[in-house]
């Protein structure tokens, strides 16, 4: 599912119970993460729930370097937040990833005001992990 589709679906849901259910459904759409990828290297530090993000480097059809991400969590809503975060960043160049502000997206969807402090900290940890991988990919290309 594309980020635009996710944003559009969010705008149709007025009640927060419905939005949380949608987040859970979104989490169910994540491509499965191999069991071997549920390791310490991929584990995101700073999340109250268990979260893993696996980063792959590749190229898009035009030959630009891009990073793709797979992720998983042991908590349903957090898994949906992983899916939303990956929809924002996966398949983009390291430079585009570094220039993209996830807080802006979460604020526009109303999530910033409706997530517990622990979940907000977890989202920040996921974003920082993705940006760290993007900085590393950018530095290695230079």
Provide CATH code, domain 3-141: 3.90.1010.10
Distance in angstroms (rounded) separating the CA atoms of residues 131 and 109: 21
Distance in angstroms (rounded) separating the CA atoms of residues 110 and 121: 16
Task: With beta carbons less than 8 A apart as the criterion, state whether 59 and 65 touch.
Answer: yes
Task: With beta carbons less than 8 A apart as the criterion, state whether 55 and 133 touch.
Answer: yes
54 versus 116: the higher-pLDDT residue is 54
Distance in angstroms (rounded) separating the CA atoms of residues 68 and 54: 8
Q: Model confidence at 142, in pLDDT bands (50, 70, 90)?
A: low
Mean pLDDT score, 132-139: 92
Task: With beta carbons less than 8 A apart as the criterion, state whether 129 and 44 touch.
Answer: yes
Q: What is the pLDDT of residue 38?
A: 96
Decide if pLDDT at 45 tops 80. Answer: yes
The count of other CB atoms within 10 Å of the CB of residue 83 is: 24
Angle 76-81-85 from CA coordinates, rounded to 5°: 150
Active-site residue, 55 included: no
Decide if pLDDT at 116 tops 90. Answer: no
- Write down the pTM of the prediction: 0.93
Q: What is the pLDDT of residue 112?
A: 86
Distance in angstroms (rounded) separating the CA atoms of residues 78 and 97: 21
9 versus 47: the higher-pLDDT residue is 9
In the predicted model, what is the mean pLDDT of the chain? 93
- Which is catalytic among the residues 6, 23, 44, 47? 47
């Amino acid at each position: 599912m594309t980020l635009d589709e996710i944003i559009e679906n969010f705008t149709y849901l007025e009640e927060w119970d419905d939005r949380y259910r949608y987040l859970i459904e979104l989490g169910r759409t994540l491509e499965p993460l191999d069991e071997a990828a549920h390791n310490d290297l991929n584990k995101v530090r700073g999340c109250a729930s268990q979260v893993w993000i696996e980063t792959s480097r590749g190229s898009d059809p035009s030959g630009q370097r891009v990073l793709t991400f797979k992720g998983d969590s042991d908590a349903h809503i957090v898994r949906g937040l992983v899916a939303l975060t990956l929809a924002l960043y996966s398949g983009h160049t390291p430079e585009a990833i570094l220039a993209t502000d996830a807080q802006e997206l979460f604020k526009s969807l109303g999530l910033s005001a409706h997530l517990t402090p622990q979940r907000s900290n977890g989202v920040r940890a996921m974003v920082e992990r993705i940006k760290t991988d993007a900085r590393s990919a950018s530095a290695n290309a230079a």
